[in-house]
Amino acid sequence: MKTYRELLVARSGHGTSLRELDPGFSPIGCDKAASVEEVERDGLRLRRQQYLLYAGHARSLLICLQGLDAAGKDGTIGHVFTALNPQGARVHAFKVPSTLEADHDFLWRVHQQVPAKGEIVIFNRSHYESVLVDRVHHVVPSDVVNERYDLINAFEETLALSGTVVLKFYLHMSEAEQLRRFKRRLEDPSRQWKISESDYTERALFPQYLEAYEELLFRTNTKHAPWFVIPADRKWFRNLAVCKIVVESLEQLKMKLPKATVDIKDIERRYHAAHRAEKRGNGA
């Protein structure tokens, strides 16, 4: 049986059209109720792996979540990554660059947010926005976009070589599903505050974004930092797939608890001495 990693890793080689990949896909026999339970159970595996990562203090994990508006980036965080211990895990959402950030190269602010040893960081949007928004809105000329793919690959290789596992998820949602989700947001008073004018103007550019994603998947799907294309029309399958791929990726590192750095026997002897002293103190 294929692992989720094998099943959903982006194809290398050009010519793979996202239009040929069904955003509503889920494997035969895989249903909602069972998946929700499975994600719950896998939360424990995830937390176990996080503990080993934290204790080992040698490796780290960077997760990049990408997808169009309403593709489910926030939802994935809320459903899958709440299983993590907040100590040692962090979400960073990249917003419009500040003046200071805009005065530097496009990877400057990103580099500052990568995980430290033992840490897990989730990027909600990432450096990939600079080959998406900037490309679709012609903020930079196409040769600059081209150059950025190579710079991104070199950057991610730097991270990987220093022990960071880099996993990149493209949440693949259909245009029809996006419209349905926007509608549901409109009808839900608790979420109306989130709605902005740009959600609607960007929607018109759906095909251009899809094309930009196809190009970046082709250019930046590397061995040290693979892309996974996650069918995202069904939220429960999206959660299951992301969760499984993260767990599989960590478990294949076969991390072990580090050895004690002190002489446990010696410490034990001192403990017993302290304990006896305390008892005598109470008896006096």
What does the per-residue mask of binding to a copy of itself show for 50-89, with x meaning CB under 8 A?
Answer: -----x------------------x--xx--xx-xxxxxx
- Nearer Cβ to a copy of itself, position 10 or 89? 89
What does the per-residue mask of binding to a copy of itself show for 174-203, with x meaning CB under 8 A?
Answer: -xx--x--xx--x--xx-xxxxxx--x--x
270 binds a copy of itself (CB under 8 A): yes
What does the per-residue mask of binding to a copy of itself show for 124-163, with x meaning CB under 8 A?
Answer: x---------------------------------------
Residue with the two structure tokens 């409109």: 186
Q: Which residues of 176-195 are buried (b: 16+ CB within 10 A; e: fewer)?
A: ebbeebbeebeeeeeeeeee
Interface with a copy of itself (CB under 8 A), residue from 91, 133, 140, 151: 91
- Nearer Cβ to a copy of itself, position 134 or 199? 199
Count residues near a copy of itself (CB under 8 A). Answer: 47
22 binds a copy of itself (CB under 8 A): no
Q: Do 222 and 56 form a contact (C-beta atoms < 8 A)?
A: no
Distance in Å, CB of 179 to a copy of itself, minimum: 6
Give CA separation, 65 vs 123, 232, 242, 247, in Å. Answer: 6, 12, 10, 16
Q: Which residues of 160-173 are buried (b: 16+ CB within 10 A; e: fewer)?
A: beebbbbbbbbbbb
Task: Enumerate residues 6+ apart whose C-beta is below 8 A from 145.
Answer: 131, 134, 135
Q: Do 201 and 41 form a contact (C-beta atoms < 8 A)?
A: no
